[in-house]
Amino acid sequence: EPEVTQTPSHQVTQMGQEVILRCVPISNHLYFYWYRQILGQKVEFLVSFYNNEISEKSEIFDDQFSVERPDGSNFTLKIRSTKLEDSAMYFCASSGGTGVRYTEAFFGQGTRLTVV
Amino acid sequence: QQQVKQSPQSLIVQKGGISIINCAYENTAFDYFPWYQQFPGKGPALLIAIRPDVSEKKEGRFTISFNKSAKQFSLHIMDSQPGDSATYFCAALNSGGSNYKLTFGKGTLLTVNP
């Protein structure tokens, strides 16, 4: 069964450092997302990406965050200068669909980011 | 208006019992309502989903009931098993939009005792 894969599974970084979280979405999917889950809390939308551009971003997704699809298969989330409050589980997701028809989103296993 | 409210926060059920989790939404543009199951350390996995043109959808032991006029939907797990112990999230989405953003409820931690 196709799956979304994320690397690394756990990343520890010092406050102020840059981190890049990587994702390989399902190959024929067109829509890509990053969500975040602070420990014990709900899953929150960060950003959606379609046709090589951001289609929507939440208020959490400020100038410190950026996304990229550098090579047609990977989808990355970069945090330029990490803060303690960025510590969370970050989930990548992808969904298919052509035109406007939505199909279910598949989530990766997540990257646990710990900022110290 | 974008919120999805979920209750209860936690639920303990005996094996063989029925687990019921409820969600309510405000945004009438939502037209796709999935439930996700999440085990510790894993990503959310789609369990079952419903569109508002039907009032109920059943897949095995899992049933979604949908009340469009009340803007509420619920997940029923029949014959609950210890392996069902997980966190369950309801979500909602506007499939006519351009970004397919899922709005999640806060989650329900289900514990099924043997």
CB of A81 closer than 8 Å to CB of A62:
no
**A-B contacts at Cβ under 8 angstroms:** 66
Task: Write the DSSP string, chain A.
Answer: ----EEE-SEEEE-TT--EEEEEE--TT--EEEEEEE-TTS-EEEEEEEETTEEEEE-TT--TTEEEE--SSS-EEEEESS--GGG-EEEEEEEE--STT----EEE---EEEEE-
Angstrom distance (rounded) from CA B76 to CA A101:
27
Residue type, B111: T
Average pLDDT over residues B79-89: 97
Q: Which tokens is A76 given?
A: 């990355």
Residues of A in contact with B7 (CB under 8 A): none
Q: How far is A51 from chain B (nearest CA, A)?
A: 11
Q: Considering only residues 9 to 68 of chain B, which have any Cβ-Cβ distance to chain A shorter than 8 Å?
A: 32, 34, 36, 41-46, 49
Q: What ranges in chain B are assigned the alpha helix state H?
A: none
* Residue whose C-alpha is closest to residue B6's, from B32, B20, A108, A74: B20
Q: Do B101 and A48 touch (CB under 8 A)?
A: yes
Q: Among residues of chain A, what percentage have pLDDT more than 90?
A: 71
Longest Cα separation, chain B: 45
Q: Do A104 and B49 touch (CB under 8 A)?
A: yes
Interface of A with B (CB under 8 A): 4, 31, 33, 35, 41-45, 48, 50, 55-56, 91, 93, 95, 97, 100-102, 104-110
> Which residue in the set A42, A48, A109 is minimally distant from B100, CB to CB?
A48
Question: In B1-114, where do the E strands start and end?
Answer: 4-7, 10-14, 19-25, 33-38, 45-50, 56-59, 62-67, 72-77, 86-92, 103-104, 108-113
Tell me what pLDDT residue B98 has: 66
Mean pLDDT of chain B, nearest integer: 93
Q: Do B100 and A97 touch (CB under 8 A)?
A: yes
Tell me what pLDDT residue A100 has: 47
In the predicted model, is pLDDT for residue A8 greater than 80? Answer: yes
A7 class by beta-carbon count within 10 Å (0-12 exposed, 13-18 middle, 19+ buried): middle
Residues of A in contact with B96 (CB under 8 A): 100
Average pLDDT over residues A58-76: 92
